[in-house]
Amino acid sequence: MTDKKLNVGIIGCGKISQTRHIPEYAQNKNVNIIGYFDFVAERSAEMAAQFGGEVFNSVEAMLANTEIDAVSVCVANDAHADITIQALNAGKDVLCEKPMATSLADAERMVAAAEKNNAKLMIDQNQRLAKSHVVAKQLLDRDEIGNVLTFKTTFGHGGPETWSVDPGANTWFFDKNKSKYGAIFDLGVHKLDLMLYLLGGKVTSAFSWLTTLDKRDSNGDLIGVDDNAISIYEFNSGVLGTVTASWTYYGEEDNATIIYGSKGIMKIYDDPQYSLKVILNSGEVINYEIDRIQTNDNQTSSGMIDEFVDSVLNNRASIADGASVLNSMKAIFAGIDSNEKGQKIQVN
């Protein structure tokens, strides 16, 4: 590890910044937080008062600061691409929140900008670093359950209105202009990206159903984005699986993944005691007590901030490099296209 410290700026001081990015940067001894910008100025001031650093009055002012090496982009979905590209063109390395972008074209522009500027672009697909997922990948890579045949993975909770920095029915997550899509962007991108990371390969076809069942705005009308999304994905390896994303799991979160192979089954974050279980067709059951998955009510360190800092300071590719996440976004947008056309979509 180099002795150099990374000077960072925070763009967007909402809930994800307040609970993840800023505290995790502050706890990293190789980081200096230089400053903050938010479209609501009071939020920047609050973070500066709590963690130290300067308040910037615009994105442009922050990016013009030559002291800043890297930025976290933690704004609403609709602004991810433009601000990330602006930062990359200013010579900053970027950690951008998920979903990477609200269109495939924008996601591709982000990767191209990183390559053009020889800058780092990392997307906060933090499930890749969850400890039981790390062990699961090791086991899968050594064929612990044989050839993977099918999977089902779920991410469901009671909705972002209790999590958002502006809680309630007026949260930006429910605003189609800012979020573009709902549960599939908030939760589905996590689980599809995880499966591509765990299993490798690419998605060759997608069939998705996005619907709004229960969430309502302040007028009592159903929100304009999906609160449930169920997708079927086929991989080039022949693996077939489902990804379920829901904002209507009231009472308890579900963040489980079950993978079915030719020699057995792997269950991840499915058991309250054992975060990883392998059930072999021989009858042997192997239990791993590793960790507990993060929930909205129980936030723990994601590891993504430390990964980003280390990848920049040591000039190496990150575990969630933008180019690798682009593969996931292609599949997500194929699913969205499938929902709009009511048919299975082939992915090039």
Q: pLDDT value at position 291? A: 85
Q: pLDDT value at position 24? A: 96
Quick one: 196 exposed, middle or buried, by C-beta within 10 A (0-12, 13-18, 19+)? buried
The pLDDT tens digits of the residues spanning 56-95 come to 999 999 999 999 999 999 999 999 999 999 999 999 999 9
- Which helix (H) or strand (E) segment is 142 a member of? none
CATH topology of domain 127-297+328-346: Dihydrodipicolinate Reductase; domain 2 (3.30.360)
Q: Of 76, 73, 77, 35, give the one whose Cα is nearest residue 57.
A: 35
Q: What are the distances in angstroms from CA 333 to CA 152, 210, 292?
A: 19, 12, 30
Q: pLDDT value at position 294? A: 59
- 115: helix, strand or coil: helix
Q: pLDDT value at position 168? A: 86
Q: What mean pLDDT value characterizes the chain?
A: 95
Q: pLDDT value at position 292? A: 75
The pLDDT tens digits of the residues spanning 114-143 come to 999 999 999 999 999 999 999 999 999 999
pLDDT of 304 over the 50 cut: yes
pLDDT of 296 over the 60 cut: no
List phi, psi (to 5°) of 209. Answer: -130, 115
The pLDDT tens digits of the residues spanning 226-284 come to 999 999 999 999 999 999 999 999 999 999 999 999 999 999 999 999 999 999 999 99
pTM above 0.85, yes or no: yes
For the domain spanning 6-126+302-320, the CATH number is 3.40.50.720
CB neighbour list of residue 124: distance below 8 Å, 6 or more residues apart: 95, 96, 97, 98, 302, 304, 320
List phi, psi (to 5°) of 264. Answer: 165, -170
The pLDDT tens digits of the residues spanning 319-343 come to 999 999 999 999 999 999 999 999 9
Q: pLDDT value at position 39? A: 93
Q: Of 206, 193, 235, give the one whose Cα is nearest residue 326.
A: 193
Q: For the chain, where are the E strands, in sequence order?
A: 6-11, 31-37, 54-55, 70-73, 93-96, 121-123, 148-156, 203-211, 228-235, 240-246, 257-261, 264-268, 276-280, 285-288, 345-346
Contact assessment for residue 212 and residue 226, using Cβ atoms and an 8 Å cutoff? yes
Q: pLDDT value at position 2? A: 55
Contact assessment for residue 236 and residue 215, using Cβ atoms and an 8 Å cutoff? no
The pLDDT tens digits of the residues spanning 155-203 come to 999 999 987 777 789 899 999 999 999 999 999 999 999 999 999 999 9
Domain spans in the chain, listed from the N-terminal domain onward: 6-126+302-320, 127-297+328-346
Q: How confident is the model at residue 1 (pLDDT cuts 50, 70, 90)?
A: very low
Question: What is 1-67 written as a DSSP string?
Answer: --SPPEEEEEE--SHHIIIIIHHHHHH-TTEEEEEEE-SSHHHHHHHHHHH--EEPSSHHHHHT-TT
- Provide the token pair at 270: 């499915």
Place of tokens 């360190």: 301
Q: Of 304, 308, 278, 298, give the one whose Cα is nearest residue 290.
A: 278
